[in-house]
Amino acid sequence: MNSVFSRFGIVLTIATVLAVSLVSPATAAAKKLNVVTATTDLAAFAQEVGGDRINVESIAKGYQDPHFVEAKPSFLLKLRQADLLVVVGLQLEIGWLPPLITQSGNSRIQVGANGYLDASQFAEILEIPQGSITRAMGDVHPLGNPHYWLDPDNGRRVAKGIAAKLAEMDPGDAAYFQQRFQDFDRRLTEADKKWQEEMKSFRGRKIVTYHNSAPNFAKHFGLQVVGFVEPRPGIPPTPSHTFDVVNMMKRDNVKVIMVEPYFDRKTPDSIARDTGATVVEYLPSVGGVKEVATYFQLFDYDIALLTKAFQGSQ
Ligand SMILES: [Zn+2]
C-alpha cells in the first residue's frame, strides 16, 4: 500500500510540476504590469523600455495642455487598475491629477507608494526658483520648469529611470527592460546626431515661445528663448505685455514664435504681423498630431518645422 501511495505521490508531484511549467507562460502574460502615465511622452518612454511586458496608457492626450486636463470618469477606471503611475511632477499635474489619484482608491499608486513614480527626479530641471516659492502670481512652474522631456538627454534619463522601476516591480523581466533601454539609448544617440546636424547652422538664434515650455529644448539645440507671449506661465496675454514683446522682437530681430497647438493663435499671429516673424506651431508632446506617435517622431516633426522657419527668415 505504502509503495502505491508514494508512487502515486511522485506522479502527483510530477504532474504538478508539469502543470505549473505549462501554465506559467500564460500566467506571466496575464501578469503584464499595467502602467498609467500622466502624459503621452512618459507613455512613449514606458513603451520603449517596457515593450510587450507592460500595458501602458496615458491620461492626457498629446494635443492637450498638460497643465489643464479635464478630469473624466474613464481616468478613474484606468487609475484603479494601474500597478504603476508615472507623473511628470514639479506640480505640472497639480490642477487635475491629485484628486483622481485619491478617488481611484488604488493604494498601489498613491503618492509615496511603490507604484507612484515622479519622473522629474531623473531629469535635469531648469529654472528652479531660489528663495520662497509662491503661486500667488499664478505661476504654474513654482518648482522649476516641468517641460523637461523636450531635451533628448532628459528623455534618455527618464527612460532609464522607468526601466529601473519596471525591473524592480517585475524582476523576472529585468534583463528584458535593460536590453530595451540600451536599444532606445543607442537609437536616441543616433537620432540626436542627425537633429544636431540639422540645427547646427541655427545655433544662437533667438526665439519667442507662447508658454515657457521649451527651455530644455532650446538649451539642447543652442537656441535662445528671449521672451514669451504669456506674461507669466499660465497667465493669458495682455495688451501691454504684447506691446513689450513686439518692441523687443523688433529690437533684437527675433523671427520665430513657437506656439503650442492648444493656445489661441490670435495674439501670436498679430505679433507675427507686426514683427515679420513666423509662427511655428510646434508640438510639445507625442500625439500632438496623429503622425507623431513616438519620441523620435516628435523631434523629427519639430525640427523640420523650425529649420524651415529659420531658413525662411535668413
Ligand atoms: Zn508649463
How much is the pLDDT for 233?
92
Distance 3 CA to ligand 1 centre (A): 75
How much is the pLDDT for 136?
53
Q: What is the pLDDT of residues 51-95, one digit of tens each?
A: 999 999 999 999 999 999 998 999 999 999 999 999 999 999 999
How much is the pLDDT for 121?
98
Q: What is the mean predicted confidence (pLDDT) over 259-281?
A: 98
Q: What is the mean predicted confidence (pLDDT) over 167-171?
A: 98
Distance 59 CA to ligand 1 centre (A): 17
How much is the pLDDT for 314?
63
| Cβ–Cβ under 8 Å, residues 236 and 189 | no
Distance 246 CA to ligand 1 centre (A): 22
Distance 282 CA to ligand 1 centre (A): 15
- Mean pLDDT of all residues belonging to the chain: 91
Cβ count near 238 (within 10 Å): 12
Distance 32 CA to ligand 1 centre (A): 33
Distance 67 CA to ligand 1 centre (A): 6
239, pLDDT greater than 50: yes
For the chain, give the percent of residues with pLDDT over 90.
84
Q: What is the pLDDT of residues 90-146, one digit of tens each?
A: 999 999 999 999 999 999 999 999 999 999 999 999 999 887 766 555 578 999 999
Instruction: Confirm whether pTM is higher than 0.85.
Output: yes
How much is the pLDDT for 24?
46
